[in-house]
Structure 1
């Protein structure tokens, strides 16, 4: 699971880098759309494809099965050797393996926890959109539904629904918005966005997946803008001006195609870019070799796992399980009533287990001899000698066939001798399996038994957890519960804190974050008693982000008493602090809304940035104006260029229009050179938006049209355009 997810993330990241470097600035918007969609799908398919071994660049690990040699040293010589000092190894081999498996299992838990959160977010967004679409008043326009919304929300579309506030826009702008959104619907852009959301559900941890969605959304807007400009009724300058009017900081849901303020600058630049030449399409052909390289480098060779050592006989192959063979050498240290025995089979295959001294039958000291250790799974025969409390020699394990049969009768298959040896080391008993079945666990896997017995998950513990009333509690839950020390007292503590419908996964997540009843109580007290977090997801997020009562109270002291959980998490992730808010209060921006603070932080709007505008006379700018100035890259220097030619105290709305229309002081000087000396900003904006350029005026003058005002030339342009 984990390798597949990481491999998918790697392919997606590499394809994004390829797109950003070579394809992003190309104006083949339709082709870019299919590249983005295709790579998104291939990222999940390619890791599953086997590659012919002759084409694979991945090294295949070939195991050399070396027959286990019989004792090559005379036993009498071995007995006469002085026993070397033996370091006591206190961690059992099976427990070491279990620790690694537990770590991997936790990574899987964490991954699926994230998948669950983002899947729920996806479903909530979809439900909200469908609710709005069919609960608000709507107008049927052919196959399109125009849903009327209220408030300062940007227009957007989803499926065949267009969401728009008709009272907010002039007729021309309103018409262009509808045309824009209809193109989104006709080209089924909702499918692209839905697919990208599904990718984000399974790649939520991958920052490149989030960038992929942005790239896909940007390309859809570029494609739609291009389609709009190809219509005879749409003027480029007028359309660009409409974009600026429509852009709003209140973004719609991510499942919709929408007007997005952060995209406006890129879209205007792309609209004015030179169209890509067909000679640049060579770039697209390099994507296929890149994907083939990934398959050859990382995919499993088709022939792997079929290579056998034909010179070996099956009976001579090494019998190993988790690095331990059924025959080998042993070294031991006696401590009180226990004996720690280290098993060695080769230079690297070592494991250690501690037994009760009373379990070893026939053990004598200072005399060469044999002794045995018998458990339900089989018998371990030892040969060697103890000198004092240190001993060494050889061992051989013999499985008990009755044990295998008894286990099979209970539904657990352990026919392999090496599996039985692991059961022997951990001391798995048939009675333990029967106990599990008695408690309702029918489908028991042999790999579950090893950690359960190692952790001493006994009947008393299982019954205590059952009494706690955890729904759908299975053996896979029992292992992390026992290893993390989750008991009935902890579960009761969580319930008493207000979580009555808690599941096993919720309990595990809470425990892993170190969340107890006190933390939950503090959380509820700090969030004004908000108990809508039935599964503890918000608490877990608060804990992981280190949001505590002190953090929340610090905002309450500044008057932010009604911050939602989402606001608090956004503040923490964006590093918005009371000190950050105080900096804005010092320059007169009191009671900023949470959305404004988040936008300021993301756009890097600082008090120093505000001060720059105040120095050139722009005091008391609204937060929305500041965001628009920043997103359009309007600077005091830009304003100063207009002041030099006599235009002072330009209103913010006019500045936005000047920037979006790409109107410069040089252009105004060209109008003045034609005799228009008393131009105001509205005249220039209107002329530029209608295409009344200095070149147009010159051509009309050459034809005998000598007007004294720009308005007359705009009227003439309208007539010429109609004809």
Structure 2
């Protein structure tokens, strides 16, 4: 969740900054509306996209070493994170309050529609209300003061302005951003997106009015005269805007088609950069074929597999096929763990142990391929270390219980930190943290 919020917020912020610096001041209002809405969708989708790019690392193996993996064990770590519970409770309470407020405002608007006179007006409906207010729009309803309507005190430009909000469905944009503000109330960036979207709506409506009446000075003076009127409900499109100055300036601007196209093209590297930073993951992989050729180019199929696994043959059963001892030991280990947990004090639960991607043999191959034997190490011995397999499959909390010296255990930790994420352990289909113990016997070649 934290990762999603960080990535989506970073994308939203970058795109909003670009909008204010490059796009907002240009008269390409339809494109800007699409850009703002697309920025919201893009920023919510991009955290779920991950593309891995493999970078091949060629290494030559020196002093091949036999490594025997002894039977390990794991332990599910029971933990109660009360801080997380309280944060979710606080989030739920505040979100519930804001949802109620959101629904209450919609009901307040619909109540006005039901309790007041409505009149058909082009493809919209006029709602005559007793309150003294400027015309404002919600969906296809235009709210106007009943007295002003009857006395014909509402200028034609204002009707045209509100009709533009109706025809272009601006209320839907406002409802979307308000819904996101309700869910992500702790993220102030949505406040700025709402302001940008509302201002863009006013630019669009102003543009249509000017194109229809071709009298910019009169329309500007009309807006200035209405600027001090009371602000209506926050879910509606309206004329009373604190940024009236920006609207007046936009009316006199003229953006050439060439300039607009260049600024739109400039978006391509912005979106590519965001996609690369958030979704592209570079994974380093060693070339195993080069490793084998330089250690021994005359291995049989089984010998190559054993060399890549770095498993000492003499310590295992003699066989010409894959040695089942490793797999049987691990299966036995899992059964022992399950038996030890499912006691009378602990009711039987469905437990799945964490696993390296591809299984235990792939894990041994991974260790054997990446482990470098310290040059100073001459003798043999056992290294024992533990690590935590987190709920997301990442490895952490490495601890050395027994070391041979010369940085041997540190080298194993280095290799484990290169590991891809494991399939996490589960208890009753819910991911849990598991502490994993790994004994390793090392036999350097002579």
Q: TM-score range by the shorter chain?
A: 0.5 to 0.7
Select which of 181, 195, 199 maps to 1:218: 199
Q: State yes or no: 1:404 paired with 2:342.
A: yes
User: What does 1:528-547 align with in structure 2 at a 5 Å threshold?
Assistant: none
Partner of 1:269: 249
CA change 1:5–1:14 in 2 (3 A) is same
Q: Distance in 2 between matches of 1:417 and 1:36?
A: 43
Instruction: Find the residue that maps to 2:309 and give its secondary structure.
Output: coil
In structure 2, the residue matched to 1:200 is 181
RMSD of equivalent CA atoms: 4.2
Q: Which runs of 4+ in 1 moved over 6 A?
A: 66-70, 302-305, 307-310, 312-317, 405-408, 446-450
**How far apart are 1:164 and its partner, in Å?**
0.8
Extract unaligned runs of 5+ from structure 1: 56-65, 71-92, 320-325, 327-376, 379-397, 422-443, 451-723
2:397 corresponds in structure 1 to none
Q: CA–CA distance in 1 between the matches of 2:166 and 2:267?
A: 29
Whether 2:224 is the aligned partner of 1:287: answer: no
**Partner in structure 2 of residue 311 of structure 1:** 309
Alignment CA distance shift 1:42-1:411 (3 Å): farther
User: Separation in 1 of the partners of 2:345 and 2:163?
Assistant: 66
Change (3 A) 1:302 1:111: farther
| 2:190 paired residue among 209, 231, 235 | 209
Alpha carbons of structure 1 residues 415 and 406: separation in structure 2 relative to 1, 3 Å: farther
Q: Aligned partners of 1:145, 1:400: CA distance in 2, in Å?
A: 69
Higher RCO, Cα 8 Å, sep 6+:
2
1:299 matches 2:279: yes
Q: 1:16 to 1:270 in 2, by over 3 A?
A: same
Secondary structure, counterpart of 1:293 in structure 2 = helix
Question: Are 1:237 and 2:217 counterparts?
Answer: yes
CA contact (8 A) 1:40 1:199 kept: no
Q: How many angstroms does 1:17 deviate by? A: 0.5
Q: Work out whether 1:121 is the aligned partner of 2:58.
A: no
Aligned pairs (5 A) from 1:340-355: none
Query: Take 2:157 and 2:209, find their aligned partners in 1: how far apart are those partners?
Result: 8
Q: Secondary structure at the match of 2:125?
A: strand
Q: How many Å apart are 1:196 and its aligned residue? A: 1.5
Unaligned 5+ runs, structure 2: 56-66, 289-304, 312-323, 356-385, 387-426, 434-446
Aligned CA distance change for structure 1 residues 246 and 400 (closer, same or farther; 3 Å): closer
Residue 31 of structure 1 corresponds to 31
Aligned counterpart, 2:130: 150
Contact 1:222 1:267 (8 Å CA) reproduced: yes
Question: How is 1:581-596 mapped onto 2 (pairs within 5 angstroms)?
Answer: none
**Mapped contact 1:51–1:295 kept (Cα < 8 A):** no
Q: Does the aligned pair in 2 maintain the 1:156–1:181 contact within 8 Å?
A: yes
CA displacement at 1:138 relative to structure 2: 1.2
Q: Distance in 1 between matches of 2:338 and 2:19?
A: 62
Select the structure of larger CA radius of gyration.
1
Name the one with the larger strand percent: 2
Structure 1 range deviating more: 307-316 or 112-121? 307-316
Shift of 1:103: 3.3
Q: CA deviation at 1:244?
A: 2.6
Q: Secondary structure at the match of 2:31?
A: helix
Contact in 1 for aligned 2:22/2:263 (Cα 8 Å)? yes
Whether the 8 Å contact between 2:165 and 2:171 is mirrored in structure 1 is: yes
Q: CA deviation at 1:257?
A: 0.6
Q: TM-score, normalised by structure 1?
A: 0.38
Q: 1:52 to 1:416 in 2, by over 3 A?
A: closer
Residue in 1 that maps onto 2:227 = 247
Q: CA deviation at 1:263?
A: 2.5
What per-residue deviation string (whole Å, max 9, x for no partner) do you get for residues 389-447 of structure 1? xxxxxxxxx64727538799x562135499xx9xxxxxxxxxxxxxxxxxxxxxx9587
In structure 1, what is the equivalent of residue 377 of structure 2?
A: none
